[in-house]
Amino acid sequence: MGNIPHIPDIVIGRLPIYLRALNRMIQEEQEYTSSHELGDRLGISSAQIRKDLSHFGEFGKQGTGYNIKYLYEQIRHILKVDRDWPMAVVGVGDLGHAVAHYRGFKMRGFWVACLFDADPSKIGEQVAGLTVQSMDEMEAEIRHQTIKVAMIAVPAKEAQAVANQLVKAGVRALLNYAPITLAVPPDVRVQYIDPVAHLQHMTYYISP
């Protein structure tokens, strides 16, 4: 199953959410689920879930619903996370440390392969079993390891320059923790971790 064209990006964005819920069900040793159960867990309508999945094929059976492990493996394949993507982490402050130590990457398709920082006092430091490298080494290292995915955890004013360097080295997916919108070529994807946007989304609902 290759990428099927013309699938709305918003649908692709929901697949990781389905994967997370299915993973939880596997851990709970559940074998089958339904679009209704998935929908209830995720606050998404069952019709939406069926419609999303129908873009990629027929995964469920009338009556028995979805085999959880099968659906999980299929979505992993669609998202290309049935392999392990090496990642570069740029910026080894508190956040970079947290990312380097984060155990949630393994089994979900990713691992931290190298760390970079501009601060000379940090270069050579051991973090989560990796040696922090200098920004001068970054491009060659990323090419050498054929790294396509990177996380940017540097201050906002440095983020665009770091992104430019990463893209030049061949990175095609940037997860940006800096509170700034990045300009990248059309063949590069950027996602943002913006905790404040999530907070602002919730305060709407809080009664004064």
- Which residues sit at the interface with a second copy, rule CB under 8 A? 3, 12-13, 15-17, 19-21, 24, 41, 78-81, 85, 87, 93-95, 97-99, 101-102, 104-105, 108-110, 148-149, 151, 172-173, 175, 179-181, 189, 191-206, 208
- Give CA–CA dist 100/115, Å, rounded: 8
CB contact at 8 A, 42 and 17: yes
Report helix angle 135-144 to 156-168, nearest 10. Answer: 40
- Give CA–CA dist 85/183, Å, rounded: 23
3-state secondary structure of 29: coil
Nearest distance from residue 106's CB to a second copy, in Å?
Answer: 10
Nearer to a second copy, 39 or 179 (CB): 179
Nearest distance from residue 14's CB to a second copy, in Å?
Answer: 9
Token digits of residue 131: 């040696």
Of the candidates 1, 17, 21, 19, the residue with the CA atom closest to the CA atom of residue 76: 19
Alpha carbons within 13 angstroms on the beta-carbon side of residue 101 total 9
- Give CA–CA dist 83/90, Å, rounded: 22
Nearest distance from residue 136's CB to a second copy, in Å?
Answer: 25
Nearer to a second copy, 63 or 195 (CB): 195
Nearer to a second copy, 64 or 155 (CB): 155
Nearest distance from residue 62's CB to a second copy, in Å?
Answer: 28
Nearest distance from residue 153's CB to a second copy, in Å?
Answer: 8
Nearer to a second copy, 6 or 201 (CB): 201
Nearer to a second copy, 138 or 151 (CB): 151
